Amino acid sequence: MAKFWSWFQDFFKDRNFLKLIHVTENVVSKVLSLALIIVILVSLYDLVIILITDLFIEPIGFFNRTLIELFGFFLNILIALELLENITVYLRKHIVQLELVLTTALIAVARKIIIFDPSKYDKFDLIALGFAILCLAISYALIRYSHLDKKF
Protein backbone atom coordinates (compact mmCIF):
# COMPACT_ATOMS: atom_id res chain seq x y z
CA MET A 1 0.00 0.00 0.00
CA ALA A 2 2.87 2.35 0.81
CA LYS A 3 4.37 1.65 -2.61
CA PHE A 4 1.08 2.56 -4.29
CA TRP A 5 0.77 5.74 -2.24
CA SER A 6 4.32 6.73 -3.18
CA TRP A 7 3.59 6.10 -6.87
CA PHE A 8 0.33 8.08 -6.60
CA GLN A 9 2.08 11.08 -5.04
CA ASP A 10 4.86 10.90 -7.61
CA PHE A 11 2.30 10.75 -10.45
CA PHE A 12 0.63 13.97 -9.33
CA LYS A 13 3.81 15.99 -8.98
CA ASP A 14 3.70 19.03 -11.21
CA ARG A 15 6.26 17.83 -13.73
CA ASN A 16 4.68 14.39 -14.22
CA PHE A 17 1.16 15.75 -14.33
CA LEU A 18 2.11 18.37 -16.92
CA LYS A 19 3.69 15.61 -19.01
CA LEU A 20 0.39 13.68 -18.86
CA ILE A 21 -1.51 16.78 -19.97
CA HIS A 22 0.96 17.34 -22.82
CA VAL A 23 0.61 13.75 -24.05
CA THR A 24 -3.19 13.97 -23.81
CA GLU A 25 -3.21 17.20 -25.85
CA ASN A 26 -1.06 15.56 -28.53
CA VAL A 27 -3.26 12.48 -28.77
CA VAL A 28 -6.46 14.54 -28.96
CA SER A 29 -4.94 16.84 -31.60
CA LYS A 30 -3.88 13.89 -33.73
CA VAL A 31 -7.30 12.24 -33.47
CA LEU A 32 -8.94 15.53 -34.44
CA SER A 33 -6.57 15.83 -37.40
CA LEU A 34 -7.43 12.35 -38.62
CA ALA A 35 -11.15 12.99 -38.23
CA LEU A 36 -10.82 16.28 -40.09
CA ILE A 37 -8.92 14.60 -42.93
CA ILE A 38 -11.79 12.13 -43.27
CA VAL A 39 -14.30 14.98 -43.32
CA ILE A 40 -12.27 16.82 -45.98
CA LEU A 41 -12.00 13.74 -48.19
CA VAL A 42 -15.71 12.92 -47.88
CA SER A 43 -16.62 16.56 -48.61
CA LEU A 44 -14.32 16.60 -51.62
CA TYR A 45 -15.85 13.37 -52.90
CA ASP A 46 -19.32 14.82 -52.40
CA LEU A 47 -18.36 17.99 -54.29
CA VAL A 48 -16.91 16.02 -57.21
CA ILE A 49 -20.06 13.87 -57.43
CA ILE A 50 -22.27 16.97 -57.36
CA LEU A 51 -20.22 18.65 -60.09
CA ILE A 52 -20.20 15.56 -62.30
CA THR A 53 -23.92 14.94 -61.94
CA ASP A 54 -24.76 18.59 -62.55
CA LEU A 55 -22.52 18.77 -65.63
CA PHE A 56 -23.36 15.47 -67.31
CA ILE A 57 -27.03 14.93 -66.54
CA GLU A 58 -29.78 16.71 -68.46
CA PRO A 59 -29.55 19.55 -69.25
CA ILE A 60 -25.89 18.87 -70.10
CA GLY A 61 -23.46 21.62 -69.10
CA PHE A 62 -25.83 23.41 -66.73
CA PHE A 63 -25.82 23.31 -62.98
CA ASN A 64 -29.00 22.10 -61.32
CA ARG A 65 -27.91 23.91 -58.18
CA THR A 66 -27.20 27.58 -57.97
CA LEU A 67 -23.61 28.70 -58.15
CA ILE A 68 -24.01 30.09 -54.66
CA GLU A 69 -24.59 26.56 -53.32
CA LEU A 70 -21.53 25.29 -55.19
CA PHE A 71 -19.42 28.12 -53.77
CA GLY A 72 -20.68 27.10 -50.33
CA PHE A 73 -19.35 23.55 -50.88
CA PHE A 74 -15.96 24.90 -51.98
CA LEU A 75 -15.75 27.23 -48.99
CA ASN A 76 -16.68 24.40 -46.60
CA ILE A 77 -13.65 22.47 -47.80
CA LEU A 78 -11.47 25.57 -47.53
CA ILE A 79 -12.63 26.13 -43.94
CA ALA A 80 -11.87 22.49 -43.10
CA LEU A 81 -8.38 22.89 -44.57
CA GLU A 82 -7.83 26.00 -42.45
CA LEU A 83 -8.92 24.09 -39.34
CA LEU A 84 -6.48 21.33 -40.24
CA GLU A 85 -3.74 23.95 -40.57
CA ASN A 86 -4.65 25.29 -37.11
CA ILE A 87 -4.29 21.81 -35.62
CA THR A 88 -1.03 21.18 -37.51
CA VAL A 89 0.51 24.41 -36.22
CA TYR A 90 -0.60 23.51 -32.71
CA LEU A 91 1.05 20.08 -32.98
CA ARG A 92 4.29 21.63 -34.27
CA LYS A 93 4.63 24.59 -31.92
CA HIS A 94 2.17 23.82 -29.11
CA ILE A 95 0.65 27.27 -29.40
CA VAL A 96 -2.61 28.50 -30.85
CA GLN A 97 -1.82 31.04 -33.55
CA LEU A 98 -4.45 33.71 -33.23
CA GLU A 99 -3.86 34.95 -36.78
CA LEU A 100 -4.81 31.55 -38.21
CA VAL A 101 -7.87 31.28 -35.99
CA LEU A 102 -9.06 34.73 -37.05
CA THR A 103 -8.43 33.90 -40.71
CA THR A 104 -10.52 30.75 -40.37
CA ALA A 105 -13.29 32.71 -38.66
CA LEU A 106 -13.20 35.37 -41.40
CA ILE A 107 -13.56 32.69 -44.07
CA ALA A 108 -16.45 31.08 -42.19
CA VAL A 109 -18.35 34.35 -41.79
CA ALA A 110 -17.56 35.33 -45.39
CA ARG A 111 -19.02 31.99 -46.49
CA LYS A 112 -22.19 32.80 -44.58
CA ILE A 113 -22.43 36.16 -46.32
CA ILE A 114 -21.77 34.63 -49.76
CA ILE A 115 -24.49 32.00 -49.40
CA PHE A 116 -26.85 34.34 -47.53
CA ASP A 117 -30.45 33.87 -48.70
CA PRO A 118 -32.47 37.02 -48.00
CA SER A 119 -35.74 35.08 -48.29
CA LYS A 120 -34.79 32.85 -45.34
CA TYR A 121 -33.23 35.41 -43.02
CA ASP A 122 -34.02 38.86 -41.72
CA LYS A 123 -32.00 41.94 -42.72
CA PHE A 124 -30.72 42.15 -39.14
CA ASP A 125 -29.01 38.78 -39.65
CA LEU A 126 -27.04 40.26 -42.53
CA ILE A 127 -26.18 43.32 -40.41
CA ALA A 128 -24.99 40.99 -37.63
CA LEU A 129 -22.80 39.08 -40.10
CA GLY A 130 -21.38 42.38 -41.38
CA PHE A 131 -20.63 43.45 -37.82
CA ALA A 132 -18.95 40.10 -37.14
CA ILE A 133 -16.76 40.56 -40.25
CA LEU A 134 -15.86 44.07 -39.14
CA CYS A 135 -14.89 42.92 -35.63
CA LEU A 136 -12.88 39.98 -36.96
CA ALA A 137 -11.11 42.20 -39.49
CA ILE A 138 -10.20 44.74 -36.81
CA SER A 139 -8.97 41.94 -34.54
CA TYR A 140 -6.92 40.47 -37.38
CA ALA A 141 -5.41 43.88 -38.18
CA LEU A 142 -4.49 44.47 -34.53
CA ILE A 143 -2.80 41.08 -34.24
CA ARG A 144 -1.05 41.52 -37.59
CA TYR A 145 0.29 44.98 -36.73
CA SER A 146 1.41 43.84 -33.29
CA HIS A 147 3.49 41.10 -34.96
CA LEU A 148 4.99 43.60 -37.43
CA ASP A 149 6.43 45.62 -34.53
CA LYS A 150 8.26 42.54 -33.23
CA LYS A 151 9.88 41.77 -36.61
CA PHE A 152 11.65 45.11 -36.93
The amino acid present at 114, given as its one-letter code, is I
3-state SS, one letter per residue, for the chain? CHHHHHHHHHHCCHHHHHHHHHHHHHHHHHHHHHHHHHHHHHHHHHHHHHHHHHHHCCCCCCCCCCHHHHHHHHHHHHHHHHHHHHHHHHHHHCCCCHHHHHHHHHHHHHHHHHCCCCCCCCHHHHHHHHHHHHHHHHHHHHHHHHHHHHHC
- Please write the tens of the pLDDT for every residue from 35-84: 999 999 999 999 998 888 877 776 666 666 677 788 888 889 999 999 99
Interval 114-140 mean pLDDT:
89
pLDDT at 39: 94
CA 127 to chain centre: 23
* Higher pLDDT pick, 55 / 113: 113
Return mean pLDDT, the chain: 85
